[in-house]
Amino acid sequence: MDIQTVGVVGLGNMGLGMAATLVRNGFRVIGTDVNAARGAAAEAAGVRFIPAPAEVLCGADALVVSLPLARDVEAVVTAEGGLLARRDRKVVVIDTSTSDPQTTRRLAARLAKAGHALLDAPVSGGPSGAAEGTLTMMIGGDEADYALARPVLQAMSARAPHVGPSGAGNIVKLVNNLLVAAHLVTTGEAMRLSEAAGLSAEDAAAIVNTATGRSAVSEVMLPRWVLPGTFDSGFSAGLMRKDVRLALDLAAKTGTALPLSAHVGRIWEEARARIPDTADFTRMADYRITEGDA
């Protein structure tokens, strides 16, 4: 089935960038957000802003959902008089938020009963990747639904591999973000050690990034947001804490012992006083502060 109109639910840092990218790629895009003030920015990007979510759910050929929590996604796509009531065509919901696999599978089954589909499609690349169409998307769901949504996915991303059945995208995203959370802690500590021993973080990082200790944190986040002290990646510490909790919850549900990751989770929770949920998540790698700093 051809997809011409894409509805975007959630026009925040990520959603608006994805919506604008879809417009540039030739889709008719309609969008909604609980914050009506986002309407002006949406219209400026070529997105038709509709305050009522039900109108977006009923008027789109495919839906891209960018909301903070799984319960928000579930509430929107199962709202009375919305998507579940549609019988005119099959609509694929592309859920770009990070959720737990169990919730994803339950919601996918409910949508399938109504003739629709859900792809869990968490993303990596931040607001800049959303705006430039260079995201990495991790797709879980039925292969036929993945094929149907491929034009939309390709427009928003540089890579959008089909990982596996429903929930698989969220599993790999939780694994990814658990690693990022740990890398932020260890990179910050390593740079603090270098500074204390008399070598600047800049000089140490330049060598680390040619050696085996490098990571996306040291190669990208450190020079872009940590070393200059801007801390404006667009992804909050609160969202990272949520993802770490989801990963550790998944570990508990599967009976998987993750002692080091559990300690990383405690570090993130205990750092709340100096790195509140509203702060940028890259602050965790700030080598200028110590564990005791508030």
* Residues annotated as catalytic (active site), given as ranges: 173
H or E segment and range at residue 139: strand 139-140
Beta carbons within 10 angstroms of residue 230's beta carbon: 11
Closest by alpha carbon to 243, among 141, 173, 163, 164?
Answer: 173
Alpha-carbon distance of 279 to 231, in angstroms, equals 8
- Segment holding 123, helix H or strand E: strand 123-124
Which helix H or strand E contains 64, and what residues bound it? strand 62-65
β-sheet with 28-32: strand ranges across: 48-49, 28-32, 5-9, 62-65, 92-95, 117-120, 139-140, 162-164
Contact present, 284 and 225 (Cβ < 8 Å): no
Which amino acid is located at 170 in the chain?
N
Angle (CA) 142-148-150 rounded to 5° is 100
Cα 238 to Cα 63: distance, rounded to the nearest angstrom: 26
